[in-house]
Structure 1
């Protein structure tokens, strides 16, 4: 007698003796829930949904003769395992955490209470856990391990991630769940996953190449044959094709080498090129996620593989209980004289739905598969920051004042976002952010470097949280604007001296260019805290409509290459408290409080009248 026939007979015997039905060891499906006796719950039926790169979901209907007043808080998050054990077959385990629990009305006739449970993976328990985090200078595996580090129930395997994955300067999880962030970074890096189950737990396996998929153990190849009680079988097997474009073209922009915009193309293989229309069409996308041709080729290749994964899907039905997504298999036909086009082709199981009814001993499996070599990755939505945010400039405060500058060759700075609760307000808080200026040309333009402690306005390229840049700065309760004593009449620029010690907070040491605009008192003020240097390559022309007044506390030195011409409409007055000297070659005139000294090899005095005082010493 076949195993199915034997179990059918057992099921009939159990139905005839309902009081012995609670003994799980005699049943096709068993369930064990942590913290409860082995026979606390009895399975009526179950539906098991599994799929590559998606969470599994096990729906199970149970009853209990011992636990009659259970509520969801008693059960949510509790571990449970369902065991499917058909005679002659190795037991199959379905392990998970109870994510949904329904307790309907109690059945009084048989003293049983019916319950419905849904089992989900440990990762899915974090589907509603949102966070805002920044990961710096890390490859995708570093990010994932950091993400899972604080999840105590996490059980995962990274050994099948063997391809090259480039380190990224900046990854941002912004107002999104752990599950969505995990899915989208796996999608971006071409990483898929699947689950395996044991009696005590389930493991998330990450994989970035089909070469690491294993073959289904036992019953391989699967046999297409008529449904009988003596054999496992497939009753349906067919293929569905969909239209996909042939080429994936991507372009990116790298601010560090702006004239070399990398553009890459990936073309489909095999059947993807069989259509003339498909070959004529391409999918063109702009992407921020690569900076070099090498990185772009891999990104376009991953996009092309995901497109190819939708090209052809094989679907089947049967009663194989060990069909597990993420494993490879072949299909054959019985009798062998029936020609099967797919007989020598390897497939990877993409999804499966196993339905088991305990009462009628029914096992039905429907599944989908893709050709070996296709790796389906998860999908996740990248959050979009459509508006502006503010942040505080950070860095290495080597000088230790509120106005310390920490920037690099492009004038970029780092910031601490207000939502970043793990940032330390240092140079490791964010990536380098470019700063918008009115002009930016090769060695010319305008440039102001935001300083540590200043609040800045941040925008995001294409709304992508991974690509922030600074638009400008804002004053706040700690950083007051200059010129407030002028009641809004004065505007302009004032830069505080760096490493100004006690004067830094009040900016009493500074350079300034300001404008006073009150009617009748208009003024331009220019101040240099130390030196003022001006270079004029051509001419300098000044037209002063009224007076010019200069006060020099120490010395005035003038060096004129050719001529000095001074012309006054009325008079010129020169006054010195000690002396005035005029010298041309060896001749000089010196005027002091003690007299006038004229020295020259020849002195000529020409005039129609020459008055000489009473004392004349021509000595």
Structure 2
């Protein structure tokens, strides 16, 4: 056979991908008027790939209805091999040419569906971009380290849930500020330790603040400096057992049975009027 020829990939009725264990397909030449155009159209024809090795390389099976370019090894008609594929009037390229002429695209098609996976490179001057689309799930596996560098802003939107598991430690450095959107729930399965090198300011613009310690004790230690608690209305301190205020050798103790004990070297009570019953 002299020179390559064009052919159409064939397969059983209703099938979109038809191949054997070697990735070979069947074809119908345009000049073959008696070809049934099904799974018996020809012998199995090998397909040249961009890279082919023992268990590795590139694999893209020509699908039923695609136009392929067929050549013959040493001109032997019994050794056809598909050397390439081409678009035509019915099988048009992705995008909208010539408007998308600056794009290089790798787009697949969902098997018996309308979805697709896609990797697109936009090379328009000043608008360069890499676009990656996963029709369903996307899995990434890194066996060692992974480094991502973003020179400007980074935006990530998750419409449902997010789960992050860190086996050892996690360090987050924020140069200016960190803001949250709507509700936030943090669950720590074991211990949590927070170290702040400089200041900490908590601002609640509107609403309540509540801390619940289900079981165990709470201790606040200020090694240097003072603690100030202010309220515009009422400050209430309650205990089911005992409340103690201790300063040096002075002590005020209140028990749940109503006993109040004041201990000190000198106790002074001042007031315009003092009533003691």
Query: TM-score scaled to structure 1, two decimals?
Result: 0.34
For residue 54 of structure 1, what is the aligned residue in structure 2? none
CA distance in 1, matches of 2:132, 2:168: 30
Name the counterpart of 1:554. 160
Cα distance in 2, alignment partners of residues 525 and 578 from structure 1: 31
Structure 1 segments, 4+ long, off by >3 Å, are: 591-594, 615-618
User: How big is each residue's C-alpha offset from its partner over 1:165-212, in whole Å with a ceiling of 9 and x where there is no partner?
Assistant: xxxxxxxxxxxxxxxxxxxxxxxxxxxxxxxxxxxxxxxxxxxxxxxx
Deviation at 1:388, TM superposition (A): 1.2
Give 1:444's aligned residue.
Answer: 56
Partner of 1:569: 175
Alpha-carbon separation, structure 1, partners of 2:180 and 2:221:
24
Q: Residues 465-484 of structure 1 correspond to what in structure 2 (within 5 A)? A: 465-484=77-96
1:595 aligns with 2:209: yes
Q: Where does 1:298-447 land on structure 2 (aligned, <5 Å)?
A: 384-385=1-2, 387-399=3-15, 404-447=16-59
CA distance in 2, matches of 1:587, 1:491: 48
Which structure would you say has the larger Rg?
1
Equivalent in the alignment of 1:585: 190
The whole-number CA distance in structure 2 between the counterparts of 1:522 and 1:510 is 22
Aligned residues: 222
Match of 1:613 in 2: 230
**Bigger strand share:** 1
1:221 alignment counterpart: none
TM-superposed CA distance for 1:398, in Å, is: 4.0
Q: Structure 1 residue 453: deviation in Å? A: 0.4
Larger helix share, 1 or 2:
1
Q: 1 or 2 for the larger relative contact order (CA 8 Å, sep ≥6)? A: 1
Question: Which runs of 5 or more residues in structure 2 are unaligned?
Answer: 194-203, 239-277
- The aligned residue for residue 537 of structure 1 is 143
State the Cα distance separating 1:555 from its structure 2 match. 1.0
Cα shift at 1:584: 5.3
For 1:480 and 1:421, the matched residues in 2 are separated by 25
1:578 and 1:593 in contact (8 A); partners too: no
For 2:185 and 2:87, locate their aligned partners in 1 and report how far apart those are by CA, in whole Å. Answer: 53
Q: SS state of the match for residue 462, structure 1?
A: helix
Measured against aligned partners, the alpha-carbon deviations of 1:458-493 in whole angstroms (never above 9, x if no partner) come to 111101111111112100000110022543011120
Q: TM-score, normalised by structure 2?
A: 0.74
Per-residue CA shift, 1:296-335, capped at 9, x if unaligned? xxxxxxxxxxxxxxxxxxxxxxxxxxxxxxxxxxxxxxxx
Say which of 103, 108, 112 aligns to 1:495.
Answer: 108
> How far is the alpha carbon of 1:593 from its aligned partner?
5.7
How far is 1:541 from its partner?
0.7
Q: Distance between the aligned counterparts of 1:397 and 1:610, measured in 2? A: 81
